Amino acid sequence: MPHIAVEGCCHGDLDKIYATLEHAIEQKQLKDQQELALKSVESDDDFLNALEEYKKPSIDLLLVCGDFECIRHADDLNSMSVPDKYKEWKDFHKYFPQSQLRKEGEETKVAPMPTLFIGGNHEASLYLMSLPFGGFVTDKIYFMGNCGFVQFKKKFSNGRMTSMRIGGWSGIYKDNDFWKDSARFLLPKQEKGLAQEEDTNLGTTLFDEQHVPFSENAKRSVYHVRFFEFWKIMNMKLCLKAKEESQPLDIFLSHDWPTGVTRHGDLTNIRRFKDHVMKEIEESDHKLGNPWGEKLLTELEPKFWFAAHMHCKFSSVVTHTETVSQSSTLKKNTKFLALDKCLPKRDFLQMVDMDHYIEYANHDELLENEKEGEYYFDLDWLAITKLFHAYRYEISKLLKQPNIQKIQRNADQLDKNFNYSQIVEHVNSTPLPFIKSRMYPLFTLEEIEKEKNWILERSKTYDDGKFANLRIPIPTSYSLGALNGNVNERLPLQMNPQTVELLDFLGLNE
């Protein structure tokens, strides 16, 4: 049955993380066999039969909550926002087929299990910024993009099949950058004639993020989450709540914590080992982290939310209460867990048995051979991505409206007489297919369904069925993405071939 493992901050230590998981699996196997022996004390035959039927435990999927550091070469290393003394090659290059860092005769390693990760604030941004919608960084290791949702599907030996819906938001929150345009969604090369807005806080511009090598300031701003991405993710709420049979959100990943989660758990561990974090929690009245993450947690109601960043373990349970009728309410829980970084005697890994938390799919011939598990595009998210990218200029312009930002920044302090109708009228006056009488860019379900139908039809014929069944295709080779010594010339950031192909599949190439 499905077991996942969750890692806090990776910091490039893939060998140690995989070795720790292998050791944990061996220990669990030994413990299971000891229990079988105790249960079979009356008969050796019973013990041997039980051993024969016993299935070795395994981890079906590893989730990494940021600071992955997928460094292919020196240009990747130099695109990280860390002091020089912390710039290390670490392990990723051992898993990257085109790496020139391996010793002669050394074979390329392959991840022992499917690995899914989001970005943090210490990343090889040259690589990850070329995959804004996600993609494989090497065999079996998938990056979720700046924000995104995927399906992980697997068939088990007993014939049961499962599909986990997983969402994620890469980066960390910084208020001043949150409201600004970014190369995270306004891609280089394809964007022409866009006014460059001066970043008064960091001194960077959108141009700075779109061109490499990144300036020192752009190395930081590219990992700051944005308002545009928040509303893109919020559109998933429409799909999650559309029908009773809609697939729920099983897991959401973020690097920093949603604000407010510290109100719902035991702070003893933080108080004992992270005094400066405890001080920040108390001084901010539990406002540590990303306030927009808290809004997503409340609206999307994932079963699990995993995070990292603060380098300490903390767990809590956030309860969501929905009024069903005048006399009844429905309660759902989100289990929040933050983990440490990969160091000895630190809580950096957690194994989770998902058997009681996810739904099993009906028989599906498409999964006959997927005993290891495969990544699939989330159809709802693909439709939302298509809409947001097609209307990115209009949405960006709309979200810059001063009144909209005023409401969002100061929702709790606004005067009750604030004139919301002017904003609603402005949104309604746009040519975009938004839900009317709303102040923000929520597309209609009808528009999302129309795009979903288009995508499904497109998948049947595109490139001889390469995207059939929405299985995410594994590249035959990986982009090296080196700057080839052009460190003094600012050139547009090149999109990864996987990004170019996905845009083409969605009919968005320009």
Q: Is residue 193 very low, low, confident or very high in pLDDT (cuts 50, 70, 90)?
A: very low
Q: Using DSSP, state whether 246 is helix, strand or coil.
A: coil
Q: Is the peptide bond before 402 cis (omega within 30 degrees of 0)?
A: no
Q: What is the mean pLDDT of residues 77-93?
A: 93
User: CB neighbours of 29 closer than 8 A, spacing ≥ 6?
Assistant: 56, 57
pLDDT digits (tens, 9 = 90+) for 58-69: 899 999 999 999
Write down the pLDDT at residue 393: 86
CB within 8 Å of 433: residues ≥ 6 apart = 443, 444, 446, 447
127 close to 153: Cβ distance less than 8 angstroms: no
Residue 183: what residue type? A
Length of the chain: 510
> pLDDT tens digit string along 341-382?
999 999 999 999 888 787 766 555 455 555 567 899 999 999
Question: CA-CA distance, 242 to 244, in Å (whole number)?
Answer: 7
pLDDT of residue 106: 87
- pLDDT, position 414: 47
| pTM, entire model | 0.90
Per-residue b or e along 109-124, where b marks 16 or more CB atoms closer than 10 Å to that residue's CB:
beeebbbbbbbbbbbb
| Each residue's pLDDT tens digit, 269-293 | 888 888 888 888 888 888 889 999 9
Using the predicted structure, report yes or no on whether residue 407 has a pLDDT greater than 50.
Answer: yes
Residue 53 has pLDDT above 70, yes or no: no
Task: State residue 368 phi and psi, 5-degree precision.
Answer: -55, -40
- pLDDT category of residue 396 using cuts at 50, 70 and 90: confident
Per-residue model confidence (pLDDT) at position 486 = 63
Q: In this predicted structure, what is the pLDDT of residue 202?
A: 45
Cα 298 versus chain centre, distance: 17
Between 3 and 136, name the one with better pLDDT: 136
DSSP 3-state of 456: helix
Residue 413 pLDDT level (bands cut at 50, 70, 90): low
